[in-house]
Amino acid sequence: MASPTSATLGEAGVAVPVVALIGNPNAGKTSLFNALTGSQQKVANYPGVTVERVSARLQIGSQSVEVVDVPGLYSIRAISVDEEVAYQAIVDHPSDLFVYVADATNLERNLFFFSQIADLQRPTIVAVTMVDALQRAGGTIDLEALEEALGVPVIPVVAHKGQGLDRLVEEIESALRDPKPCPPVGRSPGSPVDLTPEERYKWSSEVRSATITERPSPSTTDRLDAVLTHRVFGLAIFVGLMYLVFQALYTFAGPVMDGIEWTFGKLADAVSPSLEGTPWLQSLVVDGIIGGVGSAVIFLPQILILFFLIAALEGSGYLARAAFLMDRLLGWCGLNGRAFIPLLSSYACAIPGIMAARVMPDARSRLATIMVAPLMSCSARLPVYILLIGAFIEPKYGPGWAGFALFAMHLVGLVVAIPVVLILNKRVLKMKRLPFIMELPRYQWPKWRDVWLTMFLRGKVFLQTAGTIIVVMSVLMWALLYFPRPAGAEERYTAEYGRQTSDFRERVSEETYVQQRQIEESYLGRMGKGIEPVFAPAGFDWRLSTAILSAFPAREVVVSSMGILFSLGAEPDERDMVTAVQNATWPDGRPLLTPWTATGLMVFFALCCQCMSTLATVRRETNSWKWPVVMFLYMTILAYLAAVGIYRLSLLFGG
Amino acid sequence: MKIGELRCGDKAQVTGYCDRSDCVMRLCEMGLTLGTEFQVTKIAPLGDPVELCFRCQKLVVRSAEVSGIDVEKVG
Ligand SMILES: Nc1nc2c(ncn2[C@@H]2O[C@H](COP(=O)(O)OP(=O)(O)OP(=O)(O)O)[C@@H](O)[C@H]2O)c(=O)[nH]1
Ligand SMILES: [Mg+2]
């Protein structure tokens, strides 16, 4: 990572000066970093978004400058892992210039940390953010008086509107050319001792009252909070909001999916005739690649909608309120309200969720959060739910219950996480109750640029997965299903078909029978039969077992595996996914999936640890192989037991 | 008096610290210094956590964890 000397070497071997953006959490450092360097780092309206040191280049004329963004700090004394990272970037890896980012709407506290930075007596300039928000609330700021009081250049910026950036860049350039140490503030000349917090705050509150005028009025934030964190309605609104998210997701799903499915169908029809000559190539392209990738890409719209909603919530400032509402519940199982944000991020993807656990104030609660984060239902599980709910729940119970089922599937992981944390807590980690301090930021309209960016980046990641691992796995699955095709086998199967009862021949066409036999005799078919007994107690056949196994590297693969496995052997007019899984049967003609077994399958996917990247991230964050191994085992075993349990229940109740 | 004994809407002042836990130190660094006036603006359904308002910011803390801070009601 960063070198211990301040300057890193540029391409030509010349030293590149380092400029660090530092300040309180949620002050707007990352917004500024993105605006200066054109980066696409995550911005959201709650403290503790950035948990890593990030750097990027800024070109000023002919000079190249390295800009560094770090997690926010409240004081120079770091107490959590993300703060440690920031502390090291500031103190251990000295930079050539600090840009101290100060939030104008919370100047007193922002200047407290500034006074500690000033004591380091290093070159510093100040960027004041949120001036627009201050003015909207009816306040004004006297920047000249502030510059006077701080003794360093002060530049107002509104990063997302690009205001003040030119001046900031100019000041950075001149401060690098002619570095002046920042004078200490708030002390009478000659006093050598470290100031107490009381003395620092006395100074900062004087500076604030000399520079900021505010008309006291009940703010929008207070009015919103009166409802949103209300004793009774608060929680109800929270649950209702989450319910709406999933209901929306389900309602919008259908039409868009149909559109994409139609497109891929047309694509297959267009390509198919030109490959007529080589049947295996035709099958590879149509069934393997187009079918496999198509059945995953179909879910892109849902993933985009989910990220749209999550990003809008993150940008508004509501998440910190949700943490406040959930603290009691989380505290009861030994976690703390802060864990809520990493857990909620895990609904998008466990990896940023696990990283976000760095904001937890101590190693043990952080570990507990990491261990349950992958139980939260990430967006990669969404396709399985939508497919199975659409095939088995909606036709029987209607769209209202389908939306509810989707909501319920997202609760499964959360509910299971509670006992897991309790056990980890009691037996393994022996946690103490941890301090919980959380700042509630001002509500803001989500910055639409950030929302689009999140959707765009996430969509890109999903398509990249579809383009790489899903293509590879699809081709592999297809090949293992297509081969071997010994000469004469087809005639043998046709003859076998002839010997079946007329009743059977009524139900299954000759073509389908031959294809199914071919699949059964393929490499994958034989392998699948080998592992079928393992999943038999859960009521899964060899095709479902194979799909499950294929999804261990990355669970995104599962729908394409199921698509290939089920549609290759389906009647030609039943090749769309939903019909194919609905009509799949056991060899004796019983339906393979019922609402019960479909639920079992969904719960299995909800709990199972099928993501290599998550395990790698856990390994990196915990610095040991022990925790990823424990995670993999406990999740997979739980998933298996849950699926078996549901199947047993279905036998009892005759589902 | 402790923060946990205050009711929603009460205004109070910090009069001293009886322990120096991480939580208390951090609150002090965030502006809840000796003599600071603050208001309890919200108490979550089961009595915890509580929302404190001081120096134009809203912070959420657990009352048990801030028992190291002695306060006195004002106004
Ligand atoms: N109105 C307004 N909002 C801003 C401004 N700068 C940042 N924001 C918003 O403030 C919030 C926090 O911004 P970030 O850039 O993520 O803050 P940060 O300092 O990187 O926060 P951490 O990474 O958590 O330490 C986001 O919702 C931004 O959109 C500004 O100048 N004006
Ligand atoms: Mg940031």
- Check residue A162 and give its pLDDT: 92
Question: For residue A444, which atom of ligand 1 is closest to its CA?
Answer: 27
Q: Smallest CA–CA separation between B71 and chain A, in Å?
A: 16
Structure token pair of residue A416: 């299971």
Tell me whether strands A154-156 and A212-213 are parallel, antiparallel or unpaired: unpaired
- Determine contact, residues A100/A115, Cβ cutoff 8 Å: no
Closest CB to B44: pick one of A197, A225, A328: A328
Residues of A in contact with B55 (CB under 8 A): 106, 108-109, 201, 205
Question: For residue A157, which atom of ligand 1 is closest to its CA?
Answer: 31
In degrees, to the nearest 5, what angle opens at C-alpha A634 toward C-alphas A631 and A638? Answer: 135
Q: What are phi and psi of A369, to 5 degrees?
A: -65, -45
Number of domain units in chain B: 1
Q: Rounded to whole angstroms, what are the CA distances from A129 to A168, B47, B60?
A: 12, 35, 23
Question: Between A230 and A177, where is the model more confident?
Answer: A177
Q: What are phi and psi of A333, to 5 degrees?
A: -100, 20
Q: How far apart are CA A267 and CA A290, in angstroms?
A: 8
Predicted TM-score of the model (pTM):
0.82
- Check residue A1 and give its pLDDT: 37
pLDDT of residue A478 exceeding 90, the answer is: no
Q: How far apart are CA A271 and CA A256, in angstroms?
A: 23
pLDDT of residue A2 exceeding 50, the answer is: no
β strands within A51-104, DSSP E:
54-60, 63-69, 97-103
Confidence label for A187 from pLDDT (cuts 50, 70 and 90): confident
Instruction: Note the pLDDT tens digit of each residue in A267-294.
Output: 888 888 888 888 788 878 877 788 777 7
Nearest-Cα residue of chain A relative to residue B43: A231
- Determine contact, residues A619/A537, Cβ cutoff 8 Å: no
Q: How far apart are CA A416 and CA A35, in angstroms?
A: 41
Distance of CA A350 to the CA centre of its chain: 6
Q: How far apart are CA A263 and CA A298, in angstroms?
A: 10
Structure token pair of residue A63: 């000079």
Length of chain A measured in residues: 655
Residues pairing with B72 in the sheet: B13
CATH value at residue B9 = 2.30.30.90
Q: How far apart are CA A328 and CA A333, in angstroms?
A: 9
Contacts of residue A254, Cβ cutoff 8 Å, sequence gap at least 6: A390
- Determine contact, residues A536/A548, Cβ cutoff 8 Å: no
In degrees, to the nearest 5, what angle opens at C-alpha A487 toward C-alphas A484 and A490? Answer: 85
Left (φ > 0), alpha (ψ -120 to 50) or beta: where does A75 sit? beta
Q: How far apart are CA A289 and CA B17, in angstroms?
A: 68
- Check residue A3 and give its pLDDT: 38
> How many beta-carbon pairs under 8 angstroms link A with B?
100
Tell me, using a 6 A CB cutoff, whether residue A34 lines ligand 1. no
- A-proximal residues of B, 7-46, CB under 8 Å: 21-23, 25-31, 33-36, 42-46
- Determine contact, residues A604/A414, Cβ cutoff 8 Å: no
- Which residue out of B26, B29, B37, B42 would a mutagenesis test of the A interface target, given it has the greatest number of A Cβ atoms within 10 Å? B29
Residues of B in contact with A437 (CB under 8 A): 23, 26-27, 30, 59-61
Span from the CA of A45 to the centroid of ligand 1 (angstroms): 6
pLDDT of residue A560 exceeding 90, the answer is: no
Residue A26 corresponds to which amino acid?
N
Max Cα distance, chain B (Å): 30
- Determine contact, residues A290/A468, Cβ cutoff 8 Å: no
- Determine contact, residues A117/A22, Cβ cutoff 8 Å: yes
Instruction: Note the pLDDT tens digit of each residue in A208-224.
Output: 999 988 766 667 888 88
Q: How far apart are CA A12 and CA B54, in angstroms?
A: 52
Ligand nearest to the CA of A73: 1
Residues of B in contact with A231 (CB under 8 A): 43-45
Q: Smallest CA–CA separation between B46 and chain A, in Å?
A: 7
Closest Cα partner for B57 from A404, A438, A186?
Answer: A438
Q: How far apart are CA A81 and CA A341, in angstroms?
A: 16
Span from the CA of A230 to the centroid of ligand 1 (angstroms): 26
Question: For residue A47, which atom of ligand 1 is closest to its CA?
Answer: 24
Angle between helices A557-568 and A510-521 (to 10 degrees): 130
Residues of A in contact with B42 (CB under 8 A): 225, 229
Residue contact A106–B36, C-beta within 8 A: no
Residue contact B30–A229, C-beta within 8 A: no
Q: Report the 10 Å Cβ neighbour count for A348.
A: 22
- Which residue out of A437, A438, A440, A443 would a mutagenesis test of the B interface target, given it has the greatest number of B Cβ atoms within 10 Å? A437
Confidence label for A400 from pLDDT (cuts 50, 70 and 90): confident
Question: For residue A69, which atom of ligand 1 is closest to its CA?
Answer: 20
Domain housing B10? 3-73
Q: Smallest CA–CA separation between A67 and chain B, in Å?
A: 27
Q: What are phi and psi of B63, to 5 degrees?
A: -65, -35
In degrees, to the nearest 5, what angle opens at C-alpha A443 toward C-alphas A442 and A449? Answer: 115
Q: How far apart are CA A34 and CA A566, in angstroms?
A: 46
Q: Smallest CA–CA separation between B47 and chain A, in Å?
A: 9
Residue contact B35–A198, C-beta within 8 A: yes
Confidence label for A428 from pLDDT (cuts 50, 70 and 90): low
Length of chain B measured in residues: 75
Confidence label for A559 from pLDDT (cuts 50, 70 and 90): confident
Tell me, using a 6 A CB cutoff, whether residue A43 lines ligand 1. yes
Span from the CA of A8 to the centroid of ligand 2 (angstroms): 23
Nearest residue (by CA) to ligand 1, atom 26, is: A45
Closest Cα partner for A321 from A71, A110, A46?
Answer: A46
Instruction: Note the pLDDT tens digit of each residue in A355-383.
Output: 888 777 667 788 888 999 999 988 888 88
Instruction: Note the pLDDT tens digit of each residue in A80-99.
Output: 888 889 999 888 877 899 99
